[in-house]
């Protein structure tokens, strides 16, 4: 869902003719779904829940993993587990029309992935037709940030770890804005060697922005700078959180604040939020 929520934002800033890899027939050169320190299951609906807190998400993924393991690899038993999980999670789902695959779970401790992937099957069978999508979609879908992110921005996204990685890598607008904010402090464009040098500090930055941001809107229908309504998740662009506020925020800072799902701020709150953001970005550069 995060990839979809960033479409208007990225196109407005970088041109309406950017490619959308969600319709590509071949795999991109650099696949972003999994990397050494993080993984993503946004296209499997892992974020489509009323409660997306780390605690609730972990419990949900752990429950799925245990139930699927109990049935693995019997197709009939897995079909029954699928129906059981879909029923159990129905009341927790945010948008009923946005598909949620119950086979997105922990393929390793803390790493989300496809529990039906043929690489996990003892004889290599592809059971992904048991999921909520045809297996051709599971095998061939690559979200738009595969095309929208430049190599250094991909490096930056992959400084996020664990489940937070999926939130970061699918929001191209957020990643590009953080890259620009870091470049503003550096006095030059961000480079891949900067990302490597700042790896630990960047991890702290993502943890703060994604898990501890004090000004986040509490509305579960809020995704980044957008709000979604109805079962079909109709997208509505929200005014910037700094609307009506006298502020010296840069374009990158405004994008970051909105991408974090920041609620509307008054003058005092806006100053505090910008100070917190600037200090966090400066700490990354200082930690090189």
pLDDT digits (tens, 9 = 90+) for 164-223: 999 999 999 999 999 999 999 999 999 999 999 999 999 999 999 999 999 999 999 999
Considering the domain boundaries, does residue 17 fall inside one? no
Considering the domain boundaries, does residue 100 fall inside one? yes
Considering the domain boundaries, does residue 127 fall inside one? yes
Q: Are residues 123 and 252 in the same domain?
A: no
Residue 9: per-residue pLDDT = 40
Considering the domain boundaries, does residue 60 fall inside one? yes
Three-state SS at 76: helix
Q: Are residues 134 and 39 in the same domain?
A: yes
Three-state SS at 267: helix
- Residues in Cβ contact with 74 at an 8 Å cutoff, skipping those fewer than 6 apart: none
Considering the domain boundaries, does residue 233 fall inside one? yes
Q: Are residues 254 and 180 in the same domain?
A: yes
Residue 287: per-residue pLDDT = 82
Q: Are residues 188 and 109 in the same domain?
A: no
Q: Are residues 131 and 183 in the same domain?
A: no
Residue 25: per-residue pLDDT = 59
Q: Are residues 187 and 89 in the same domain?
A: no
Q: Are residues 221 and 119 in the same domain?
A: no
Q: Are residues 180 and 119 in the same domain?
A: no
Considering the domain boundaries, does residue 23 fall inside one? no
Which of 143-155 are b and which e, b meaning 16 or more Cβ less than 10 Å from the residue's Cβ?
bbbbbbbeebbbb
Give the count of domains, the chain: 2
Q: Are residues 277 and 153 in the same domain?
A: yes
Which residue numbers in the chain have pLDDT < 50?
1-21, 23
Q: DSSP alpha helices (H): ranges in the chain?
A: 2-5, 7-14, 54-71, 75-89, 135-140, 145-148, 151-157, 164-169, 172-186, 192-197, 199-211, 251-259, 267-286
Q: Are residues 124 and 176 in the same domain?
A: no
Q: Are residues 130 and 152 in the same domain?
A: no
Rg over alpha carbons for the chain, rounded to the nearest Å, is 19
Residue 282: per-residue pLDDT = 98
Considering the domain boundaries, does residue 18 fall inside one? no
Considering the domain boundaries, does residue 20 fall inside one? no
Q: Are residues 136 and 178 in the same domain?
A: no
- Full domain range(s) for residue 235: 147-159+171-286
- Cβ atoms within 10 Å, residue 21: 19
């Amino acid at each position: 869902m995060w990839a979809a929520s960033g479409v208007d934002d990225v196109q407005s800033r970088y041109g309406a003719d950017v490619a959308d890899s969600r319709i590509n027939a071949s795999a991109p050169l650099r696949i972003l779904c999994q990397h050494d320190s993080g993984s993503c299951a946004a296209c499997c609906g892992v974020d489509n829940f009323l409660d997306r807190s780390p605690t609730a998400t972990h419990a949900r993924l752990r429950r799925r993993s245990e139930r699927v393991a109990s049935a693995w690899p019997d197709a009939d038993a897995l079909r029954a587990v699928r129906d059981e999980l879909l029923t159990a999670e129905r009341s927790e789902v945010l948008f009923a029309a946005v598909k949620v695959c119950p086979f997105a779970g922990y393929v390793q401790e803390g790493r989300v992935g496809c529990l039906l992937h043929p690489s996990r099957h003892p004889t290599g069978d592809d059971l992904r037709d048991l999921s909520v999508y045809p297996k051709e979609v599971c095998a061939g879908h690559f979200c738009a940030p595969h095309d929208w992110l430049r190599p250094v921005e991909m490096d930056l996204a992959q400084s996020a770890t664990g489940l937070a990685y999926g939130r970061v890598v699918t929001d191209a607008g957020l990643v590009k804005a953080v890259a620009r904010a870091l470049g503003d402090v550096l006095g030059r464009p961000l480079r891949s060697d900067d990302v490597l040098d700042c790896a630990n500090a960047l991890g702290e930055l993502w943890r703060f922005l994604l898990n501890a941001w004090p000004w986040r809107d509490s509305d579960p229908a809020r995704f980044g700078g957008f709000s979604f309504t109805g079962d079909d998740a109709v997208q509505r662009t929200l005014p910037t959180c700094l609307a009506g506020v006298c502020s010296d925020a840069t374009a990158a800072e405004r994008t970051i604040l909105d991408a974090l799902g920041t609620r509307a701020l008054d003058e005092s709150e806006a100053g505090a939020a910008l100070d917190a953001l600037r200090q966090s970005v400066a700490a990354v550069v200082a930690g090189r």
